[in-house]
Structure formats: structure tokens, C-alpha cells
Amino acid sequence: MTNRLQRLVRLGCLAAVVVAAAGPPPAARAEPVGELLTRLQGLYQQAEEAAEAYNAAEAALKARQAEQERLGSALGRARSSLDAERATAGRLAREQYQGVRAGGLSPYLRMLLSGDPQQALDQRRLAAREGARRAGVVARLERDRKQAGALADAARKALDAQQTLAARQKEAQKQVTGRLKEVERLLAGLTPAEIAGLGAREAAVTAGAQRQLVDSGRLPARTTPPTAAGDAALRYAAAQLGKPYVWGAEGPASFDCSGLTSQAWEHAGRSIPRTSQEQWARLPRVPLDRLRPGDLVVYFPKATHVALYIGDGKVIQAPRPGARVKVSPIAANPLLGAVRPDPDGTPLARFTPPTLPEEAATGDDTGYDAETEPSASATSAR
């Protein structure tokens, strides 16, 4: 993350040139660089929390839409069956009415008046069979009516849930955009020296955290081979290096943090939850000293960020808005823990790590414009 603010530095310098052309530069801010960095990182973390809430709402909305489609199909079948039973019941009612009008006698009277007792008994059995058939039609009619009513009720509840989820997603989108606009306002008010100081301070903090983690012995002494699936996930993630971070994105042109990790494992043949919180909550935990390539490293107390471990104390991650998918030290963000999507997999006998480009750890950051944030419909179409 040593160059995470590189692009922002250039933007800050450009802003300073514009201000200088208009008049004297602003006075130096009294707030220390360390406090500025803490505030800036706090805003990014809040934006990422909202982004993962957006992703969670989107995943739930997709599941609810699939359930709505299933209920709609079942309701259509139930109504067709109900219509068929109603038609049968109507036909039987007409037959009975026509028989009464024609002077039809009850089976009991026909048996008493019949000169052939056997014929009367046969007629009685036929009448009993017809009665049972009519009772069956009535029972099926009532069953189909109840089923259609229950499915219609479930479909209405599913639609209400969809509307609630859509509102929740829209609110999360607003939260992300608002936090990132705060970042823009904060950066716009900084001098080039302050922005450069932020970059240097961030690099120093990351280097110190990484050194402390390595010295603690909490990381593996050597990189152990991944499973075949872990290797496939790692190679997929490595192939995305340099692509921009866009919140809500799952590729192929851009990713957010959990979009990258979930797609990496999807391409490895294993579906995992979409969001970092669900990945942390539902996948098996693994101690840091047993990490192997392909494992997922989760960050922050609320599990709002995730990266994919590549070995040698490094991860591939989509860091934040304004950055690109890159290789970072594992301690680039506050560690929460790690999870393993394939705990039952067998490690490969031989493993050759993918070749990473020289600029993988220092790729150019891109600017970010909150005004052009993708809409919910655009991100859900990916």
C-alpha cells in the first residue's frame, strides 16, 4: 500500500497549482499528519462497511428474486390445477342437476323397484363409485384452493421483502457515496505537502505493522502448497492485478474486495459467500501460522475487508476506491483472522507460484469520482 495515495498526490498537486494561480496558498493546517491519516482511513473503512452492506443486500435480493420466480411458477401451476378442478366440479354439478330434472331415482329406490337384484347391486356400486369420485373432486378443489392461497400469500411476502431489500441497498449506496465525498472534500483541502506526508506516513505504518507481525512468528515459516482449487483461485486473482476497484463489482473489468475473492473461488469451482462478513462467518477459520495460498485473510473488527493469501506474508487485494488490484503486505490493514474455503482439500505435491509483474505491489492508483458511482442496476447486472 506504499503508493495507495500516489494518484491523490498528483490530484493534490494539480489542485495546488490551480489555487496558486487564483491567489495565495491556504495556511498550513494545524491537524497532524497522523490524525489526518487516521481520519482518512476511518472514512475509507466506513465506506467499505457500507459497500459490503450494499453487497449483502444485493446478494439477498438476488436470492429473493429467485424465490419469487419459483413461487410465481408454483402459483401458476396451482391456479391451473384449481381451474381444472373447478371445471370438473361444474361438470358434475350440471350432470347431477340434469339427472334430477330427468326424474332420476336414488340408487336405493332403483334397487327396490328393480326386478333384478344383481343389477340393482351393480347400480349401487356404480353410484357409490360416482359419489366417491365427486367427493374426491371436492377434496382436491379445496386442497388446490388452499395451496393457491398460501402460495399467493408467500408471493406477496416475498415481494414485500424484495422492496425492503431494495430500500436497504439504496440506503447503503447513499452511505458509500456520502463517505467517499467526505474523502474528496478532505483531500481537496490538503496541501501537496500534506498529501505527500499522508503517503509517507501510510507506508511507514504498513511497514511497521508487517515487521511486527513477521517478528511475532504468527505467520508460516515457509509457504506450503495450496490445494488444486486454492492454486486455481490464486491464479485467477493474480490475473486480475491492475484492474480498478469499483464497489459492488465482481469483474471481469473491475472488482471490490469481496468481489475479487468470491470470483476467484468461483472460478476455482467452489461457490463461497459474496461478502467479506459472510465469508468470515460461514467459512472455516484457520490460524495465521497455518495459512496456505488461496486462503482468505479478513480485516477490521466488523470483517469489512478481505484479501487472498499468496504466500511469503503477502496478499492480493482490491484495496479501496481509487486503487487497483495489487499485491500488499498481509498487515496492510488491521487483521481479524483467516478462513479456508476448501478445508478438506489435499495440498498439491508440487507448487510453482504464479509469476507476478514487477509493478504488482506498486501499480498506479486511479482517481475516483463519487458523482459517477455506478447505480444499483448497473452493479447488479454484472
CA-only gyration radius of the chain, Å: 33
Per-residue pLDDT tens over the stretch 137-196: 666 666 666 666 666 666 677 667 767 767 777 777 777 777 777 777 777 777 788 778
Can you give the residue range of the structural domain that contains 294? 218-346
**Domain shared by 234 and 122, yes or no:** no
* Residues listed for the chain: 382
Q: String of b and e for 288-318 (b: at least 16 CB within 10 Å)?
A: beebbbbbbbbbbeebbbbbbbbbebbbbbb
What DSSP designation does 330 have?
Answer: G
Q: What proportion of the chain, given as a percentage, has pLDDT over 70?
A: 59
**DSSP summary character for residue 60:** H
Residue 310's H or E segment, with its range, is strand 305-311
Whether residues 237 and 313 share a domain: the answer is yes
Q: Which residue shows C-alpha cell 485467477?
A: 236
In the chain, how many domains are there?
2
Which of these ranges, 112-126, 263-277, 317-331, 332-346, has the smallest mean pLDDT? 112-126
Q: What is the mean pLDDT of the chain?
A: 74
Tens digits of residue pLDDT in 85-121: 567 666 666 665 555 454 555 555 555 555 566 655 5
> 216 or 151: which carries more pLDDT confidence?
216
Does residue 153 sit in the same domain as residue 246? Answer: no
> Residue 288: left if φ>0, alpha if ψ -120 to 50, beta else—which one?
alpha
Higher pLDDT, 164 or 355: 355
45 in a domain, yes or no? Answer: no
| pTM (2 d.p.) | 0.62
Whether residues 223 and 326 share a domain: the answer is yes
171 in the same domain as 254: no
Q: Is the pLDDT of residue 251 over 70?
A: yes
